[in-house]
Amino acid sequence: MRVARFVLSLILISSPQLSSQQTTIVPQRDPQAVAILQQSFATMGGPNVGSISDTRTTVQAWTSQDTKAPPFSATIVTRDNSILRVDSQSPQGTISFAITDSSAASQEPGQPVEVHPRASFGAMVITHVPVLTLQSQMGNISATVKYVGLEQDGANAVHHIRMQQPLNPAAGLGNLDVPTEFFINSQTLLPTKLIYAIRAPSDLATVSLMQAEYTDYRTVDGILVPFTVRYSADGSFVSEQHVVTFDANVGVTDANFELR
């Protein structure tokens, strides 16, 4: 169960693209907020992202806040900035989840592949590599972007930026989605925290707030990657992952995202 919760913390992200026919609300894009996002993207090696087609990250993860407890291992594979597979090792075997542009599926040990509605998992699929997260979100010109202000978060002064996606009102969930909140260190311009909504695939009206906290950035293959990511849901700890290896352009193909 603890391993399954870790997998969910990585893949139940953002909100559903409920319909290609969205509202005609004109998005408000605050120039200051957009500029800070662009600066953060550049600081993390954004200009080098174009040369990265895929990544493979191996991590040790804990679902207990006591990191002295035995961890479990997981492998996270991505392609572009919107395709993801997670394979986590549990005592019973491997728990897998894969999301592509058109499909989503999971598989637990000894069980058949379970297919999920792709629309339930939204556009922001990758959260463990913030430069890829920003790349996917900055290209969405239909999103409203607002500068909330300069805030104190622990020892850091951070830029708080809010992004909202339009929704199809026919879904009965309003015109704008639950906001995604970016917190960017005002000195280093590195993301320190991301807050985003998750929706249950079986009931899109059921929303929880996920939080990812980023520390220990290191340069790998031309981009800055946080080697520690801590996830929580509605204020409760979910997992903490420590990167063991991070590699880019490892030759990921479509077959890597097929569960069998």
Prediction pTM value = 0.86
Dihedrals phi, psi of 69, to nearest 5 degrees: -70, 155
Structure tokens at 168: 């199809």
pLDDT of 162 strictly over 80: yes
CA–CA separation, 178 and 163 (whole Å): 9
Average pLDDT over residues 171-184: 80
Q: What is the pLDDT of residues 107-117, one digit of tens each?
A: 999 999 998 87
* Model confidence at 15: pLDDT above 60: no
Residue 66 lies in a domain: yes
pLDDT digits (tens, 9 = 90+) for 123-149: 567 999 999 999 988 877 788 999 999
For 170, the domain range is: 2-16+27-257
In this predicted structure, what is the pLDDT of residue 113? 94
Q: Is residue 251 part of a domain?
A: yes
Query: What pLDDT is recorded for position 122?
Result: 57
pLDDT number for residue 94: 94
The pLDDT score that the predictor gives to residue 218 is 98
Question: Where residue 136 sits, what CATH number does that domain have?
Answer: 2.50.20.10
Number of domains in the chain: 1
For the cut 80, the answer to whether the pLDDT of residue 187 exceeds it is yes
* Residue 40 near residue 190, CB atoms below 8 Å: yes
Residue 22 falls within a domain, yes or no? no
pLDDT at 160 over 80: yes
Does residue 21 lie in a domain region? no
Whether the per-residue pLDDT at 12 is higher than 90: the answer is no
Q: How far apart are CA 145 and CA 165, in angstroms?
A: 9
What is the token pair recorded at 109? 């040990």
Whether residue 106 lies inside any domain: the answer is yes
